[in-house]
């Protein structure tokens, strides 16, 4: 569920009714109608809920519906495709906000350390200068990017080792 501020001052800076519903009452009613229609279609017989795992391509869907904005969608009770645009925009924003609030993953530090190690290894591999003999041994003499071609383009190849 949505997080609402607990601090008095923060709550006053989040006027849900006067700052959102009163601005867009018709649009929000239409979005809620779409939620119900979509729930009945995708989760028949289940209480109204958002099955987030069933669709996560909100940006693509948003743009697809934007192309047809202002026209009715017969598959969804004739609601305008613009309603879909609003629903997908809200879904995209909600997921972004949830991810920003998420607790750090316990393994995140380990994953980041492994990624850095991999990046360092890859960087060393990519920036290492190979001798012509090493290139031949690796079977790269058939490649159009031979040591000679490299030397012609960039100058002499350094003898073995890393920079």
Cβ 15 vs Cβ 4: under 8 Å: no
pTM, to two decimals? 0.61
Can you tell me the mean pLDDT for 8-17?
Answer: 90
Query: Has residue 4 got a pLDDT over 70?
Result: yes
Question: What are the E-state strand segments in 81-126?
Answer: none
pLDDT of residue 158: 62
pLDDT of residue 98: 87
Give the percent of the chain with pLDDT over 90.
Answer: 46
79 vs 127 pLDDT, higher one: 79
3-state secondary structure of 80: strand
3-state secondary structure of 130: coil
Cβ 73 vs Cβ 43: under 8 Å: no
Closest CA to 151 of 136, 124, 120, 130: 130
Question: Whole-number mean pLDDT of the chain?
Answer: 81
Confidence of residue 1 (pLDDT cuts 50, 70, 90): very low
Closest CA to 59 of 82, 92, 36: 92
Confidence of residue 24 (pLDDT cuts 50, 70, 90): very high
Closest CA to 95 of 67, 136, 37, 55: 55
Q: How many residues make up the chain in this entry?
A: 163
pLDDT of residue 145: 55
Query: Has residue 86 got a pLDDT over 90?
Result: yes
CA–CA distance, 147 with 113 (Å, rounded to integer): 35
Query: Has residue 85 got a pLDDT over 90?
Result: yes
């Amino acid at each position: 569920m949505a997080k609402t501020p607990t601090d008095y001052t923060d709550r006053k800076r989040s006027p849900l009714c006067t700052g959102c519903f009163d601005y867009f009452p018709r649009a929000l009613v239409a979005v809620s109608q779409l939620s119900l229609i979509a729930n009945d279609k995708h989760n028949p017989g289940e209480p109204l809920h958002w099955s987030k795992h069933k669709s996560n391509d909100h940006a693509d869907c948003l743009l697809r519906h934007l192309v047809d904005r202002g026209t009715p969608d017969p598959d969804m009770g004739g609601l305008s495709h613009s309603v879909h645009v609003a629903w997908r925009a809200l879904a995209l924003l909600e997921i972004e906000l949830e991810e920003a609030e998420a607790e750090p993953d316990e393994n995140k530090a380990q994953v980041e350390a492994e990624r850095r190690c991999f990046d360092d290894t890859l960087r060393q591999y990519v920036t290492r200068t190979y001798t012509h003999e090493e290139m031949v041994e690796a079977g790269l003499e058939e490649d159009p990017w031979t040591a000679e071609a490299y030397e012609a383009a960039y100058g002499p190849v350094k003898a073995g080792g890393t920079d």
